[in-house]
Structure 1
Amino acid sequence: MITTETCPGDTDVAVAAARAGADVVRGLYGRRLARIDKGAGDFATEADVAAEQAILDVIRAARPDDTVLGEEGGRRGAADAAREWLVDPLCGTLNYAVGTMLVAVNVALRDTAAGVTAAVADPFGGEVFHTDGTSAWVRDGGADAPLVPSPGTRLVDVNLDPPFPSAPGFRGVDLLAHPEFAARFRPRVVSTSLALAWVAAGRRAAYVTDGGDLSGSVHFAAGIALCRAAGCVVTGVDGAAPGEGGRGLVAAADAETHELLMSMIGLRRDCQ
């Protein structure tokens, strides 16, 4: 709950909302939960729904006039609102459902006047990564430390889940098989957008996924905001900036890592 301020800032609301969702996710972990089929092998659980409600309660209490777009409940409010919260209450549902503690709770506010404020909570690590759109921090045990990207781990997370809209030009599995990738990096597949927060924190050198324009995605908006505020290089797999018609996502700790990955992906717009 938000108790430290009578009029909390947007970052405080985002952090409190992400924490509320994380508390639910952690509290329901390990239970036998009903699944809600979404088709094509995708599903939600009772934890997804309950976590989204907890997040919504925090946002509604602090910002009753804002629009909210939740993965499970859809949009509440005007589609053209100047302020819209993007909520992914449990990113990594399949991980969670099979007893793997690699998940994230994503909360982002898109404000046409002020940019993007966001928080990403790790329910089991206890950390909340957050940004006001200018600087990026990780909160652990009540203390904030700045996020500092670094390619030093050489670990690159690649999302291998379908769909693959850029195939055959680009597929994540092909990147893993690229000789230069094997020589320069080590692959990881955690299947949650928590990996984006790890790029911002210097625990991953980069994250790569295919897809459409992900800047307005409930799954990716918070992680993109964190990476940008931390100083990462963030584009689509085709080199376009998110939100400018690009597709997919390449978030790298520095320009050199980004350049290497883009050379292996080979989908730059100026080369088509």
Structure 2
Amino acid sequence: MAEDYRELRQAAERIAREAGELLLGHYGRVEAREKGPSDLVTEADLASQRLIAGRLAEAFPGHTLLAEEEGVTPDPDRPWRWIVDPLDGTVNFAHRYPIWTVSIGLEHRGMLVAGAIYAPLTGTMWSAGLGGGATVDGQPARVSTADRLRNCLISAAFPTRFGPDAPRQLALMGRYSDGTHSVRRSGSTAWNLAQLASGGCDVTFGTHVNPWDVAAGVLIVREAGGRVTGLDGGEYDLYRPEILASNGPVHDEAAQAAREAIAASAS
């Protein structure tokens, strides 16, 4: 099975790297505009997506695409679906805050089978193929061995528009900050998942994520030995907005903490 997806994984890596080089050429040279309240886009996002879409269409003309920008939606009759965030961390990019990535995942008949996350500023590439393990810069990637939540560093994908959901967000932040090694908010969900896959953090969660934010990262975390569910610990659905990912051993404890926080925020 690992061999089946090798070419697809390599294509994701190659195209993510090319898009990353394009983004580096725009870094510090573009202005952002709002496509919605507090939701930024730049010409770099659009140029990156167009490049990725073109390369994928050339290499895999029978496949379809789901992507963040320009209303790109997939053909439901095509079983191979690329799920792309051409620039995850646009707000960071626009402010020259140095955490942003390119994320390219591939789904086949509802199953994630290949993915790559590229961080252009460091040249770091995470990737995975179903059954073939995960790598970071070509070396095996593995999640951490932390076995209790109190020993964990946690990363959060808080929504940009925090206010409408403030009670729940603050409850989660408070619960995960209490008795742990603290919480980090990077501004890039793909980055959070990549860090989890290579041991940089032990748990990551999000409440308002999109498929393109997480498709590649979910597969990479799984192939690195981690676990992915809904925020409450239930079955994971790529097309729902909540996610909880961990190294595995702390997952049940992390899910219980999330359930407690959400219940407290609603009372």
Q: 1:206 to 1:21 in 2, by over 3 A?
A: same
Aligned partners of 2:63 and 2:205: how far apart in 1? 31
1:252 counterpart (246, 251, 256): 246
> What is the CA deviation profile of residues 12-65 of structure 1, one whole-angstrom value per residue up to 9, with x for unaligned ones?
11111111111111121111x243431122121011011112212221221122
TM score, norm. by length of structure 1: 0.83
- The Cα of 1:104 is off from its aligned counterpart by 1.1
User: Which letter does structure 1 place at the counterpart of 2:87?
Assistant: L
Number of the residue aligned with 1:182: 178
> Is structure 2 residue 90 aligned with structure 1 residue 97?
no
Contact 1:45–1:93, Cα closer than 8 Å, also in 2: yes
Superposition misfits of 4+ residues, deviation over 4 angstroms: 162-168, 244-247
Counterpart mapping for 1:45-194 below 5 A: 45-75=42-72, 78-112=75-109, 115-140=112-137, 144-152=138-146, 154-162=152-160, 171-178=168-175, 181-193=177-189, 194=191
Amino acid of the structure 1 residue aligned with 2:181: F
Q: Tell me which of 190, 200, 205 is aligned to 2:202.
A: 205
> What TM-score comes out, normalization by structure 2 length?
0.84
Checking the alignment, whether the CA contact within 8 Å between 1:206 and 1:251 is kept in structure 2 is yes
Q: Which runs of 5+ in 2 are unaligned?
A: 1-5, 262-267
Cα deviation 1:224-257 (Å, max 9, x = unaligned): 111112121111112222228865111011222x
Tell me the number of residue pairs that the alignment of Structure 1 and Structure 2 aligns.
Answer: 253
CA contact 2:32–2:94 (8 Å) conserved in 1:
no
Structure 2 SS opposite 1:222? helix
Where 2:220 maps in the other structure, the secondary structure is helix
Q: CA deviation at 1:70?
A: 1.7
Aligned to 1:22: 20
Tell me, in whole angstroms, the C-alpha distance in 2 between the residues paired with 1:92 and 1:201: 19
Partner Cα distance (1:113, 1:174) in 2: 33
User: Is the partner of 1:128 in helix, strand or coil?
Assistant: strand
Contact 2:113–2:130, Cα closer than 8 Å, also in 1: yes
Residue aligning to 1:39: 36
How far off is 1:113 after superposition? 8.2
**2:132 partner amino acid:** S
SS at match of 2:72: strand
Partners in 1 of 2:59 and 2:239 — Cα distance? 33
* Contact 2:32-2:41 at 8 Å conserved across structures: yes
Q: What residue is the counterpart of 1:226 in the other structure?
A: 220
More helix by share: 2
Higher alpha-carbon deviation: 197-206 or 113-122:
113-122
Q: In 1, distance between residues paired with 2:172 and 2:141?
A: 27
Structure 2 CA distance, aligned partners of 1:50 and 1:245?
25
| Shift in Å, 1:186 | 1.4
| Secondary structure of 1:255 counterpart | coil
The residue that corresponds to 1:264 in the other structure is 257
1:236 aligns with 2:230: yes
Give the alignment's Cα RMSD to 1 decimal.
2.8
SS at structure 2 position matched to 1:238:
coil
Query: In the aligned structure 1, how far is the partner of 2:205 from the partner of 2:111?
Result: 27
Quote the Cα distance in structure 2 between the aligned partners of 1:83 and 1:120.
Answer: 19
Give per-residue Cα distances to partners, 1:67-100, cap 9 Å, x unaligned.
1122113336623310111110000000010011
2:265 is aligned to none
CA contact (8 A) 2:202 2:246 kept: yes
| AA aligned opposite 2:229 | T
| Aligned equivalents of 2:172, 2:121: Cα separation in 1 | 30
